[in-house]
Amino acid sequence: MRSRHALPAVLLAVLPLTGCVTTAVDSGAYVENGKAALDSTISATASAQLAVQARLSGDAPRMFTDVLVTESEGSIAPIESSFGGVDPPNPSDDALRDAVLDAVGTAGDALSDARVAIRRDDMTALAAAGTDLQKAQSALKSLRESLG
């Protein structure tokens, strides 16, 4: 009986927290958040790209590649959520927000395409996804370098 009464109180305490979005303290902190998001995405795409290359060359089994690419793809949503959940402190930081989220989203799309190709065992589509991963990773690295 006691737990039935506690649940509404817990829900009322937690619900306001689920919609919270914070603002970065300043532009410098926001840039650092962007760098961290890009670094994490670069790592995820690099791991997946290596697995895709190994699969295409016959050096990795399908299940191994599937697990690695799927886990890499799964890491993208938390990156997008974490960085996207922080409001840019100044209007001048809006372009950075858009650029980082676009680059992370493009990498996520390439990872998704790779996952589908692996599960279908479609080597032609996997090669195309590998190329897309390479392009996404280059764009991520370029953006990351531009931030210092």
Convert the pLDDT of each residue in 100-137 to its tens digit. 999 999 999 999 999 999 999 999 999 999 999 999 99
Percent of the chain with pLDDT over 90: 82
Farthest CA pair distance, the chain: 61
pTM here? 0.83
Separation CA 25–CA 41 (nearest Å): 23
Residue 86 bridge partners (DSSP) = 22
Q: pLDDT at position 25, please? A: 82
pLDDT band at 11 (very low <50, low <70, confident <90, very high): very low
Domains of the chain: 26-84+92-146 (1.20.120)
Q: pLDDT at position 144, please? A: 97
Residue 4 has pLDDT above 70, yes or no: no
Separation CA 62–CA 65 (nearest Å): 5
Burial annotation 61-76 (CB, 10 A radius, 16+ → b, else e): eeeebbebbbebbebb
Residue 7 has pLDDT above 80, yes or no: no
pLDDT, tens digit (0-9, with 9 covering 90-100), for 20-63:
446 678 999 999 999 999 999 999 999 999 999 999 999 999 99
CA proximity to 90, closest of 16, 23, 140:
23
Residue the block writes with tokens 């919609």: 19
Q: pLDDT at position 22, please? A: 63
